[in-house]
Structure 1
Amino acid sequence: SSGPPGPAASAPLPPPPTLPPTLSVSTSFTPLPSSVGAALELQLHSEKTKVVELGRRCTELEVKSGTFENVVCVLNREVERFATTMEAGNRQHKLDQDKIEALSNKVRQLERTVGLKDLTVAEMEGRLREMSATTFDGVFIWRISDFAKKRQDAVAGRAPAMFSPAFYTSKYGYKMCLRIYLNGDGTGRGSHLSLFFVVMRGLSDALLKWPFNQKVTLMLLDQSSREHIIDAFRPDVTSSSFQRPVSEMNIASGCPLFCTLSKLDGKNSYIRDDTIFIKAIVDLTGL
């Protein structure tokens, strides 16, 4: 009999790997020349100096940058404050402008109101003067002051004619006035003082007899020797000048050659203190 099997025979091991040949490193070097070393040290020192200088400059710039940032921050606050102030100023300016405009409008309105009141007062004063000069007996004396100026205005054509205040034959009688041309009118222009009689529209015309037919006497009064210049006429009842008025005044009628202007030049007794007096007398017979 055969005995138990013995251990199996081992397979042969592979050969170890072949290592590459080891490189040998030489630890020896050739020393640099001393001049090259010195140059390198000098260059290294220069670079270190530059680095230090750059660091210092960076530090300075950082400090300056911080300062600049602070300044910018302050300026920004100032700009914001200024902008706020400007905005408030603009609002106040707008309010002031609105106030000024409102006040200007009020002043203009007050000026218009005052102007109208002045005009009303002037009209009332004129009416009072007329009322104080008004007569109710057919006799009227017209005082004309500042004669030289008014005569010059007539010569220049600025005010060729003047109307007197109204007067009446009675309280409810005919309403009349005078019209004078200090440098003449019509055939008397430039050579004579022309004087006319005017029938006016009155409140009592419906109660009166028409046409107007009362004798009229006109006078330039001599202020010293009583040598008055007088003209008189009786109305032409066919003339429209003496019919019942349909407008404020009828056409004037009277004396275009009432008085030569030469009588008023130089020394004369018709002008005293630069004033003349005209008198009108309406005959009341039959009224």
Structure 2
Amino acid sequence: MLTDNLGKIKSLIQDIGRTIENCVHLNLERQTKQAMLDGIYAQFGEIKKSSDNNIKLIESLHGMLMDMSKLLEEIRLKSFNRPKLLTSDNTFIWSINFLTLRNSGQPMQSEPVHTSQSGYRLCLGCDITTDERNEKHVSISFTILLGEFDAILSWPVPFSITLSILDLTLAKKHITCSIPTKSKALTFQRPISSANPPFRVEKICPVDTLSKTGSNYVQDGFMFIEACIDFTADSRHEIPDVGLKKTAYDPMKTDVPFNMLVN
């Protein structure tokens, strides 16, 4: 019986040894897994830190993009709001869709233009009139607009103005009207409202002349009106009473009765 008990005790001791050995292995495996988990937690912490930094970077970049967009919009608006100026040769050329003008019969007006950054503000106009013989003519006009710098400018406008319908061929036989300013004309006085009464050049050219095929003055459906201001001379001291000079659509006619020009 003692032998049997010793055998059982020995077997139990072996089982306990195996159990202890298993526990040691399990503990080592737990430590290994814990080390892996600690590594994963550390990596997660680094990823979270990097992610937080990336989020801050993205937010910063988004703010910069918003600022740039705002700046670009301000630049765009300034570009649109910047006044249109005369060219270096003191001219302004206005393109008109002649077909639209002829077919609609509605008056057209150009965008405002400034003679300089702090100069006169003006615009051109164009419309079609019908005379007593039911013949249609193109009329053009010149208007002084209320400007920001009117207080420092000379009034009435002292400079000669030339309006032309441009000949688009090499012949350059422009239809031209020279308008010396007149001190008594309200057109050239300092504006007290948004715009002065326009100075109109009536019947400067028959519509038929511009409508005919191959017209020198219309190309691809467009005609061009040019305004040129002569800043080299003061016209107030050389104003004729009648007979403003005009080169008509008929090259043989160089003088036009004063009553064709209305202000």
Using structure 1 for the length normalisation, give the TM-score: 0.49
Residue 209 of structure 1 aligns to which amino acid in structure 2?
S
Give the deviation of 1:240 after TM superposition. Answer: 1.1
Aligned residue-pair number: 156
Aligned mate of 2:185, from 239, 252, 272: 239
What is the rounded CA distance, in whole Å, between the counterparts of 2:149 and 2:112 in structure 1?
Answer: 14
Q: 1:208 aligns with which of 153, 158, 163?
A: 153
Q: Tell whether the 8 Å contact from 2:109 to 2:124 is kept in structure 1 after alignment.
A: yes
Given the alignment of the two structures, is residue 148 of structure 1 paired with residue 99 of structure 2, yes or no? yes
User: Hey, what's the Cα distance between the residues in 1 that align with 2:133 and 2:125?
Assistant: 14
For 2:163, the equivalent position in structure 1 comes to 218
Instruction: Give yes or no for the alignment of 1:177 onto 2:123.
Output: yes
Q: Are the equivalent residues in 2 in contact too, given 1:187–1:257 (CA < 8 A)?
A: no
For the 8 Å contact 2:83–2:114, the answer to whether it is kept is no
Q: CA deviation at 1:263?
A: 1.0
1:281 partnered with 2:225: no
The match for 2:200 among 254, 262, 268 is 254
Structure 1 regions of 5+ residues with no counterpart?
1-120
In structure 2, C-alpha distance between the alignment counterparts of 1:277 and 1:208, rounded to whole Å: 29
Aligned amino acid, residue 96 of structure 2: I
CA distance in 2, matches of 1:188, 1:251: 27
- The Cα RMSD (Å) is 2.8
Q: CA 1:189–1:255 in structure 2 vs 1: closer, same or farther (change >3 Å)?
A: farther
**Which protein has the larger Cα radius of gyration, Structure 1 or Structure 2?**
1
Q: Secondary structure at the match of 1:264?
A: helix
Long gaps (5+) in structure 2: 1-72, 235-263
2:91 aligned partner: 139
Q: Structure 2 length normalisation: TM-score?
A: 0.53
Specify the code of the residue in structure 2 equivalent to 1:202: G
SS of 1:247's partner is coil
The answer as to whether partners of 2:126 and 2:141 remain within 8 angstroms in 1 is yes
Higher strand content, 1 or 2: 2
| TM-superposed deviation, 1:223 | 1.1
Moved over 4 A (4+): 130-133, 185-190
AA matched with 2:140? L
5 Å-filtered alignment, 1:23-102, equals none
Percent identity over paired residues: 28
Secondary structure, counterpart of 1:184 in structure 2: strand
The answer as to whether partners of 2:130 and 2:136 remain within 8 angstroms in 1 is: no
- One-letter amino acid of the counterpart of residue 178, structure 1: L
